[in-house]
Amino acid sequence: MPLEVQFKLKSNPLYIKYLHENSYWYKYLSRNPKIFDEFANEVKLNYKLRTTDKINKVLTTFEMISSIVSSLK
């Protein structure tokens, strides 16, 4: 595996965790380091780290708080 890819992987603990859970990515990244962006996108999708996921989480929290407040009235 190229050093550049190894440095990127070690810079983010979630990448390492995902590699341990999905070891087939070792083979893919070793054979074709150009797909690192695809790997990073899959990690974000799996761990819900995308911007849309964060917005949905905030909206869900806001809805929960507003339902609690409305039930207290």
- pLDDT, residue 8, reads 95
- For the full predicted model, state whether its pTM sits above 0.85: no
User: How far is residue 48 from each of residues 36, 37, 40, 52, 53, measured CA to CA in Å?
Assistant: 18, 16, 12, 9, 6
Q: Please name which of 25, 46, 45 lies closest in space to residue 36, comparing C-alpha atoms.
A: 25
pLDDT tens string, the chain, 73 residues long: the values are 899 999 999 999 999 999 999 999 999 999 999 999 999 999 999 999 998 889 999 999 999 999 999 998 7
Task: Express each pLDDT in 47-65 by its tens digit.
Answer: 999 988 899 999 999 999 9
